[in-house]
């Protein structure tokens, strides 16, 4: 029997139709970038504006003296530093291989395969549903309203039917913050029934306060965080789950024995030092300023309609010529993200804020595309 036939015979039923998450890097590989990295000044390098990464590549030092040893499961210095940064206690803090692993751990710890369900509010980050489907967990949907606020009626209708409620704020890909009063209603509706997971991957870019401050008030609140966005460390895969100590202890039952490689711990610690935090704040300010400029310039293009908001590090827009524009940008080595398959986001594209050069490149390529379109018609 061929391996392919054997796989067909053995593969879990729930995985047969599953499409893996089409991450930005799966669609366009970063391999071949060379020593300058993908943000080097090399004009031939694509402008990577498709994964909501930071354009800043910062320097770190690495001490190899203990690489022969397994690392701590939860490196105390990283846990302490992140807890201090987030204003929670170390016992309320768990670190993992990105926020993505936090999502997976929550599903594995709290949902029984073939029996339990999670709730998502699309359009939103794709990994909640994919992670659930991978473990044969059902996915209920309460789509966002047309202004991308939560549909509270639809959400409350799921009380008692789901174990986890995933709410992304600022939301990817709409860039909208979830209103505080709305979230309070969700937390209260699911009190004693389900965990409400607020994904704050983009929290550093918004003026809205973090839900980490509310952990003491809501025992069913879980907050997800990451070093992949504002901290410019998507490459090290380091995220955090903040929750009541009892929730953290449950997640520690299912986490791998050594989930945080030693180099990751060393780099995370430097990023969370006083000078690291200051650098992050400076870089966030630059990104937010660039975002405002790009947003204003895009808004002046008649064929472009801005969609949602810009509370994170990206801009979402709609255009009737979505496909042709996307392809013309790819041809110019400018990679942005097609979001048009998401619920209510037909013809929508998402641009991650890059550095000044990349932002100018994408803007002028879009302007040229529409000028050419108008002169052809």
Ligand X SMILES: Cc1ncc(COP(=O)(O)O)c(C=O)c1O
In angstroms, what CA-CA distances link 172 with 15, 145, 150, 311, 314?
25, 15, 14, 10, 9
CB of 197 to ligand X, least distance (A): 10
Question: How many whole angstroms separate alpha carbon 104 and alpha carbon 39?
Answer: 30
> Which lies closer to ligand X via its Cβ, residue 232 or residue 365?
232
Asked whether the CA dihedral 33, 37, 40, 46 is positive or negative, the reply is positive
Question: How many whole angstroms separate alpha carbon 377 and alpha carbon 365?
Answer: 18
Alpha helix stretches (DSSP H) within 245-321: 245-254, 262-271, 274-299
> Which lies closer to ligand X via its Cβ, residue 229 or residue 318?
229
User: Cα–chain-centroid distance for residue 246?
Assistant: 25
| First and final C-alpha spacing in the chain | 58
Which run of H or E residues covers position 153?
helix 152-156
> Which lies closer to ligand X via its Cβ, residue 205 or residue 326?
205
CB of 199 to ligand X, least distance (A): 5
> Which lies closer to ligand X via its Cβ, residue 111 or residue 227?
227
CB of 125 to ligand X, least distance (A): 4
CB of 87 to ligand X, least distance (A): 20
> Which lies closer to ligand X via its Cβ, residue 75 or residue 98?
98
Question: How many whole angstroms separate alpha carbon 280 and alpha carbon 61?
Answer: 17
Q: Which residues bind ligand X (CB under 6 A)?
A: 52, 98-100, 125, 168, 172, 199, 201, 226, 228, 234, 239
CB of 14 to ligand X, least distance (A): 22
CB of 188 to ligand X, least distance (A): 24
> Which lies closer to ligand X via its Cβ, residue 109 or residue 168?
168
| Residue positions counted in the chain | 377
Structure tokens, 372: 């050419």
């Amino acid at each position: 029997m061929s391996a392919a036939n054997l796989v067909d015979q053995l593969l879990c039923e729930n995985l047969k139709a599953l499409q893996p998450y089409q991450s930005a890097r799966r669609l366009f590989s970063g391999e071949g970038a060379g020593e300058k990295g993908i943000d080097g000044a090399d004009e031939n390098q694509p402008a990577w504006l498709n994964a909501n990464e930071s354009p800043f590549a910062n320097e770190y030092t690495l001490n190899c003296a203990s690489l022969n040893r397994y690392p701590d499961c939860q490196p105390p210095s990283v846990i302490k530093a992140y807890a201090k940064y987030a204003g929670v206690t170390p016992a309320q803090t768990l670190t993992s291989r990105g926020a993505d692993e936090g999502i997976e751990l929550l599903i594995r710890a709290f949902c029984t395969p073939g029996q339990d369900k999670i709730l998502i509010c699309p359009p939103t980050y794709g990994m909640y549903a994919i992670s659930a489907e991978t473990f044969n967990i059902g996915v209920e949907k309460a789509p966002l309203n047309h202004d991308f606020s939560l549909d509270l009626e639809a959400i409350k209708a799921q009380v008692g039917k789901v174990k986890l409620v995933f709410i992304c704020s600022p939301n990817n890909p709409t860039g909208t913050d979830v209103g505080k009063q709305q979230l309070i209603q969700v937390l209260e509706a699911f009190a004693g029934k389900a965990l409400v997971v607020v994904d704050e991957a983009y929290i550093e870019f918004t003026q809205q306060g973090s839900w980490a401050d509310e952990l003491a008030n809501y025992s069913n609140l879980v907050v997800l965080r990451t070093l992949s966005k504002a901290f410019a460390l998507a490459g090290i895969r380091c995220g955090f789950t903040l929750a009541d100590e009892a929730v953290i202890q449950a997640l520690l039952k299912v986490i791998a024995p050594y989930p945080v490689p030693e180099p990751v711990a060393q780099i995370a610690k430097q990023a969370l030092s006083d000078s690291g935090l200051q650098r992050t704040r400076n870089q966030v300010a630059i990104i937010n300023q660039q975002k405002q400029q790009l947003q204003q310039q895009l808004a002046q293009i008649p064929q472009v309609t801005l969609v949602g908001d810009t509370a994170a590090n990206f801009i979402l827009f709609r255009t009737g010529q979505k496909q042709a524009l996307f392809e013309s940008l790819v041809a110019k080595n400018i990679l942005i993200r097609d979001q048009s398959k998401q619920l209510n986001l037909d013809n929508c594209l998402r641009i991650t804020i890059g550095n000044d050069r990349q932002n100018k490149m994408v803007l002028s390529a879009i302007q040229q595309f529409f000028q050419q379109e108008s002169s052809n018609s």
